[in-house]
Structures are given as C-alpha cells and as structure tokens.
A = this chain, B = another copy of it.
C-alpha cells in the first residue's frame, strides 16, 4: 500500500499569518500523498463580533445556531479554505478545497439533543473514499474545512479533529495512513508548560495511567481519545506535534507517536 498523511492543522496556526505561510510552504515540499484538514475558530468569532451575532460557548465548544452556521460556513469553507488553497498553489502544490458536501465526501447527522442542544453540529456517519481517492489519483491535495452535510441539504459544523480522524480511518482501507495532529506544542507533554517534557511514545496503558493521575492537560483528552480510536480502527499511527516541524513529524523524528 502506498503512504498517505492526513494532517490536521490547529486553529492557533491558522490564526497566525506568518506561521501559516511557513507551514504551507513546508507542507508543499512533502512528497507523499497528503490530505489537509483545518478549522479556524478565532476568525469566526471575530466576524461574529463585527456582525453583532452573539457566540455562546459551553465547555469550550461553540453552540451553532443558524446565524453561527452561516458564519462558520463563510469563514471555514470560504475565507480560510480558499486562502489556504491559493497559498498552496503559489507553492506549487495542486490543492483542492472541499467541505464534506463537495463530492458527498462526508455525511453526518445533526447531533441529537441530550443535555445540551449544540445546534447545527454534525456527527460523522460516513466518509465516501471514492471521490477522495479519485482526487488523490489526479495528483490533487484535498484540503477540508470542517463543514459537513446530512445529504438532505443541511450543512453542519463539525469538530475538525474528528473530521481528520474519520477521514484517516476511512482512507486506511486503501492507503498506509498516518494521522498527524499538528499544533503549537511539541507533542503530548508531561508538563504543559515545558516543551521539553514531550512523551515520544504513548501507549494506551500509559495514557490511562496518566489520565488516572490527572497528568494529561484537559484540552488534550478529546484529541487523544480521537487518536486512540483511530489506531484501533486500522490506521498505521497517529503523530502529535508542532506545526512548525511538519516535515520532521512526517518522518517520525519529533512529536508524540501513538501506535
């Protein structure tokens, strides 16, 4: 099987013009097949402010009402996605920007209301790999925003880490797939304030141990749960690390590896 990297780029990098430009330049020099996934939180919040649309956050998660869905569709699938694609093109990388509605690539359903109504938020049901494979085959680099659809005309705001995990596990049937979560930290850290405390290999046993001792930074837990779920579903491995070292991450020289 040939190799594929499914790379999620964190919001703090997307928000930083010079870091993003360097990341996209580095990414363009990678010779393996790549799929890129981005979110982009702060720009959406800034636009909502300008438009006077109040944003409700519960436990760090955005409640997506109808106006907020319009905003995230504009910002994620429009402004950020097309600027990333244009910059990749400028670096000689033939990128194609997609939402999950495009080519019917990612089907989701509106999250059922339990204790809290998250609004127009999608939980992924299926990734259609045939169109994604056809694009890769044509030499294109798919760039996904985390907007999906329900197949009945409704767009849905979706967690970008989850989108990356779902794409990676689906593509693992056709490619030797590595999922990379690239963000502002060196990897999974034993001490959140010390970049030198990166854990090079994280087994599920060690992860459970660290969680039990409350040694894992709370914000990392959903990402790591996603990572272990992906590994159990057939992908080759998950690498978590610094976006500024994306090339070293793909060659396994830095970051935290989960197998």
Interfacial residues, chain A to chain B (CB-CB below 8 A): 47, 50-52, 70, 73-79, 81-83, 85-87, 89-90, 94-99, 101-104, 131, 134, 138, 140, 147, 149, 151-155
**What are 25 sample pairs from A and B whose C-beta atoms fall under 8 A apart?**
A47-B51, A50-B51, A70-B79, A73-B78, A73-B82, A74-B78, A74-B79, A78-B79, A78-B81, A82-B101, A85-B102, A86-B154, A87-B153, A89-B101, A89-B151, A90-B151, A90-B152, A95-B103, A96-B98, A96-B102, A96-B103, A97-B98, A97-B101, A131-B140, A134-B134
Q: Chain B contacts of A99 at CB under 8 A?
A: 82, 85, 97
> Which residue of B is nearest A90, CB measured?
B153
Tell me the complex Cα distance, A74–B73, Å: 8
12 extra interface residue pairs, beta carbon distance < 8 Å, beyond A78-B78, A90-B153: A47-B74, A50-B51, A75-B78, A86-B155, A90-B151, A94-B104, A94-B131, A95-B101, A96-B98, A96-B103, A97-B98, A103-B140
Q: Chain B contacts of A77 at CB under 8 A?
A: 77-78, 81-82
Tell me the complex Cα distance, A79–B74, Å: 5
> Which residue of B is nearest A95, CB measured?
B102
Please state if A138 and B149 are interface contacts (CB–CB under 8 Å). no
Q: Report the minimal beta-carbon distance from A157 to chain B, rounded to whole angstroms.
A: 12
Please state if A89 and B134 are interface contacts (CB–CB under 8 Å). no
Q: Report the minimal beta-carbon distance from A28 to chain B, rounded to whole angstroms.
A: 12
Q: Report the minimal beta-carbon distance from A81 to chain B, rounded to whole angstroms.
A: 8
Please state if A86 and B131 are interface contacts (CB–CB under 8 Å). no
Q: Report the minimal beta-carbon distance from A93 to chain B, rounded to whole angstroms.
A: 10
Please state if B94 and A155 are interface contacts (CB–CB under 8 Å). no
Q: Chain B contacts of A96 at CB under 8 A?
A: 98, 102-103, 131
Tell me the complex Cα distance, A186–B189, Å: 66
Tell me the complex Cα distance, A78–B90, Å: 21
Q: Chain B contacts of A101 at CB under 8 A?
A: 82, 85-86, 89, 95, 97
> Which residue of B is nearest A91, CB measured?
B153
Tell me the complex Cα distance, A211–B86, Å: 40
Q: A77-B82, A131-B140 are in contact. Are A97 and B102 (CB under 8 A)?
A: yes
CB contact between A50 and one of B52, B73, B97, B155 (< 8 Å): that residue: B52
Please state if A153 and B79 are interface contacts (CB–CB under 8 Å). no
Tell me the complex Cα distance, A113–B138, Å: 37
Q: A87-B153, A153-B89 are in contact. Are A82 and B147 (CB under 8 A)?
A: yes
